[in-house]
Amino acid sequence: MTTPTSTGMNRTGIQMSPIQAGRLLEITEERPSRPGEELTELVQARESFYRESSPVGTVPPAGSMKGMATTVLETIKGHKPTVLIDKLGERLAFERTGVRLYEAVLTKLDALGSWDGGPTREQLMQIRDEELQHFQMLKETIEGLGADPTAMTPSADITAVEGSGPLMVISDPRTTLSQALHSLLIIEAADLEGWNLLIELADQIGQSDMADRFRAAEQTEQRHAMLVRQWLTQSVKADAERQMSSAQGGG
Amino acid sequence: MALHLMDEKGVALDQQRFTWRELTPEPISKLDDDAFTRVRVILMNGIEQEANRFQHLCARFNAHLRLPLARIRRVEHHQQTLVNWLLPPDQSGLETTIAYEQVAIEVTAAVAMKEPDQYLAQAFRFGMLEDFDHLYRYSALLDRLEGKDANNITQCYTDIAPGRPTMVEHRAPEDDLREHYDRSKAHPLSKLHTLTIFAAEYQTRDFYMNIGPTFADPVARQLYAEIASIEEQHVTQYESLADPNESWLEKWLLYEACEVYNYYSCLQSETNPRLKKIWERFVDYELGHLQVVMELFKQHERRDPAEVLPAELPEPIRFESHREFVRQVLSQEVDLTAQGTRFLKGVDVNESAATRAYRDYLNRDGSATETVAADYIWQPGTEVAHRHAMPRQTM
């Protein structure tokens, strides 16, 4: 069976086309490159756009901010609640997409199976459910602030763009469970940093109860990241072992 | 105040110029701009794309028109660039798809409500209910693949619910063709409506054909393949509504008038001041194109453009929610089907053998539009927001 680590007809490198490569390199001999060039024009062209562009969007005014939640927000002294709402919206979107990502990985596990020291169905289901719990907790937190949990905040938007790569890898039927786990590792690492930032933000504005809830979530996410890392390491080691034993067996 | 189509000179063609910087404007905000600003951007991209397509076809059959076609087409091309580059990069392909379906629903509904010809209005309503269903299917995909809420894009203007199920929209080609309007009798508004919806559907077909293979998820790839096929049917339907006896120049006149009409409609309703200026500029550019084509019409056909064009532009397209109209059509016409050029009640009883055989074969191995949306009911904040996790033992 062909696996992603089997040797095959990968045609992307220059050494796979010795004759055509020789012809191709004629142009580099005729027009040698100038290493160290700073691409000043390109940088300047981008710079002007960077300076002049508006942000991707703004944090929506909380509809019920005027109502009962005003008291909650008033306790956040000296702090613009929009920063918190933006970041809460980011984490909410991330955890919600996390539920879908773990569902996709579960399907991959069911279809392809696992390995010694790899994930089990139960483990993946538990992580999915914990992502869901985090999402629900964030939804309640946002509602408690009188903000709208259905809004896509600017940070939620950006985080979805960031997560689009891992999503593609995980949902691609050609990728292995191990490759999907590699993408999950990126997700879990970013998630951990997201929670750490939220904890600091909640502490800074004197919301200790909120910070405690986020700490509990962060602990759970640490476990997720550790598990994914272990499963991935086992997979790569097992691949290498298989390769070594087949090399020895084949003489 | 109504716009006098033939009296307004607009900007002369040789004064219509762009720089690369102008052609790549700052995009609209996915989060902050009104959904109808996005609807207008997508619609106008479709209008320009169809203008370009028509003008190329026209050039292939009319050597004597090639030069003016090339001159006007170059400007149209750049207009399309400027308009389409207004879409922001943080709007994913699937989110843009949601917006395309919102265009198909709201603009077709607006047109169907104003259409003076009963048969054409029926055709617009028929297509609209099918696109309505597509929005629901794509929303299910967005929710179930990416964990995102389609309403972040549609902004509560448009219902997300099943329409005529996409699975039964597949029909044999002979059941997609319609009776065409009569060029000598049809109201000018009917001609503008037909062109507008035809252009919007054609770009939707092309967009899905381009974007479908960029998805990794196999069900997403199937979903785009299935819905793109319906968009191809819609292009077939709307294209057949136009009178094939119109001359090339007569059609060109209508295309230019259609562009004026659509930009003018955008201008009347735009809420983003930066875009309002773009629509205003392009109304003037299109009036300039119209002047050139009116002269060509007089010169080559020895006819008065007033035979074809209305003196005043009709009331602009209303870019607004048509929720009540759509719900009413849904309740009355969801089980409508087409046999030949007729619309009939009853999917099961009134369909041709050709359509039944065609559909049964296509759906033989299942339909992604059904798979992706099984038991899907749109909920604010996605269906995940209404799911509760069962506590499990710690690992």
Number of domains in chain B: 1
For range A135-164, the mean pLDDT: 97
User: Which pLDDT belongs to residue B387?
Assistant: 87
For range B253-259, the mean pLDDT: 98
CB contact under 8 A, B148 and A93: yes
For range B269-298, the mean pLDDT: 98
User: Which pLDDT belongs to residue B88?
Assistant: 98
Pick the closest to residue A227 from A181, A163, A159 (CA basis): A181
- A160 and chain B in contact, CB less than 8 A: yes
Residue A102 belongs to some domain of the structure: yes
Q: How many percent of chain B have pLDDT more than 90?
A: 94
List C-alpha distances in Å: B65 to B50, B60, B254, B293, B381: 18, 9, 16, 10, 54
Strand B342-345 versus strand B336-339 pairing type: antiparallel
Q: What is the mean pLDDT of chain A?
A: 90
Which of A18-32, A88-102, A162-176 shows the lowest mean pLDDT across its residues? A18-32
Q: CA-CA distance, B267 to B316, in Å (whole number)?
A: 9
Residue B272 belongs to some domain of the structure: yes
Determine phi and psi for B34, rounding to 5 degrees: -65, 145
Residue A22 belongs to some domain of the structure: no
- A167 and chain B in contact, CB less than 8 A: yes
Q: What is residue B259's three-state secondary structure?
A: helix
Residue B200 belongs to some domain of the structure: yes
Residue A130 belongs to some domain of the structure: yes
Residue A208 belongs to some domain of the structure: yes
In chain A, which ranges are continuous DSSP H helix?
18-24, 26-30, 40-52, 69-74, 81-112, 121-144, 154-162, 164-171, 177-204, 208-249
Confidence of residue B349 (pLDDT cuts 50, 70, 90): confident
Q: What is residue B179's three-state secondary structure?
A: coil
pLDDT at residue A202 greater than cutoff 80: yes
User: Which pLDDT belongs to residue A40?
Assistant: 84
Closest CB to B390 among A56, A129, A227: A129
Residue B287 belongs to some domain of the structure: yes
Q: What is the mean pLDDT of chain B?
A: 96
pLDDT at residue A251 greater than cutoff 50: no
Q: Tens of pLDDT along B275-289?
A: 999 999 999 999 999
User: Which pLDDT belongs to residue B388?
Assistant: 75
Residue A2 belongs to some domain of the structure: no
Distance of residue A25 Cα from the nearest chain B Cα, in angstroms: 32
**ipTM higher than 0.90?**
yes
Q: CA-CA distance, A14 to A21, in Å (whole number)?
A: 6
- Residue B22, domain extent: 13-376
Q: CA-CA distance, B128 to B137, in Å (whole number)?
A: 15
Residue A82 belongs to some domain of the structure: yes
Residues paired with A186 in a beta bridge: none
Q: How many percent of chain B have pLDDT more than 70?
A: 97
With beta carbons under 8 A apart, name residues in chain A contacting B96. none
Residue B7 belongs to some domain of the structure: no
Q: What is residue B328's three-state secondary structure?
A: helix
Confidence of residue A245 (pLDDT cuts 50, 70, 90): confident
Residue B388 belongs to some domain of the structure: no
Which of A7-21, A214-228, B7-21 shows the lowest mean pLDDT across its residues? A7-21
Tokens coding B363: 């759906």
List C-alpha distances in Å: B15 to B4, B21, B51, B76, B247: 21, 18, 20, 14, 29
Residue B392 belongs to some domain of the structure: no
Number of domains in chain A: 1
Contact present, B378 and B139 (Cβ < 8 Å): yes
The CATH number given to whatever domain includes residue A80 is 1.20.1260.10
For range A119-128, the mean pLDDT: 98
User: Which pLDDT belongs to residue A71?
Assistant: 47
Output DSSP code: residue A56.
Answer: S
With beta carbons under 8 A apart, name residues in chain B contacting A168. 216
pLDDT at residue A66 greater than cutoff 90: no
User: Which pLDDT belongs to residue A64?
Assistant: 56
Q: CA-CA distance, A103 to A83, in Å (whole number)?
A: 31
Residue A16 belongs to some domain of the structure: no
- Residue A184, domain extent: 65-245
Residues contacting residue A113 through CB under 8 Å, at least 6 positions apart = A177
CA atoms within 13 A on the CB side of B330: 20
Tokens coding B178: 């319609």
Q: CA-CA distance, B336 to B130, in Å (whole number)?
A: 11
Which of A37-41, B100-104, B267-271, B380-384 shows the lowest mean pLDDT across its residues? A37-41
Q: How many percent of chain A have pLDDT more than 90?
A: 74
Residues contacting residue B72 through CB under 8 Å, at least 6 positions apart = B13, B55, B289, B292, B293
Residue A46 belongs to some domain of the structure: no
pLDDT at residue B259 greater than cutoff 50: yes
Confidence of residue A238 (pLDDT cuts 50, 70, 90): confident
How big is chain B, counted in residues?
395
Residue B1 belongs to some domain of the structure: no
Largest CA distance in chain A: 77
Interface of chain B toward chain A, CB-CB under 8 angstroms: 26, 29-32, 88-90, 92, 144-149, 151-152, 215-218, 220, 380-382, 384-385, 387-395
Largest CA distance in chain B: 85
CB contact under 8 A, B32 and A58: yes
pLDDT at residue B389 greater than cutoff 70: no
Residue B97 belongs to some domain of the structure: yes
For range A177-193, the mean pLDDT: 97
